[in-house]
Amino acid sequence: MLMILSMSMMIFLISSIMMLLASSLSKKSFNDREKNSPFECGFDPKCSARIPFSLHFFLIAIIFLIFDVEIALILPIMVIMKTSNLWIWFISSITFLFILLIGLYHEWKQGALNWVT
């Protein structure tokens, strides 16, 4: 037990030192205004390079990521079915899917899934 604790402390210490070294050596102190400005074929840009994006598109992307993670959580349910108690597996699977459906219904009623052009 003492050996595992000492090895984990040593690994933590080495990784902390490496992160501090990497962050201190990678700092760039020279900030040039010309290098930080947007570049359009050698000319000054006609409009702002920071064009605002659609907030609705951002919300759709976030919802997609959330449901993508939920699918990754659903996939192991079939594998677990063979090794667990069937009744407990059924109740937990139905509960998880019910919570997901409630979330989908809420997003649908809020209008976040309607694509407005």
pLDDT score at 95 = 93
What is the pLDDT, as a whole number, of residue 64? 85
The predicted pLDDT at position 104 comes to 84
Q: Write down the pTM of the prediction.
A: 0.48
State CA 20 to chain mean position distance.
25
Q: How far is CA 39 from the centre of its chain?
A: 30
Instruction: Tell me if residue 58 falls in helix, strand or coil.
Output: helix
Contacts for 49 with CB less than 8 Å, ≥ 6 apart? 38
Would you give per-residue pLDDT tens digits along the chain (117 residues)? Answer: 889 999 999 999 999 999 998 888 876 656 666 666 666 666 666 666 666 777 777 877 888 888 888 888 888 888 888 888 889 989 988 998 899 889 889 888 888 777 665
Residue 60: count other Cβ atoms within 10 Å of its Cβ.
16
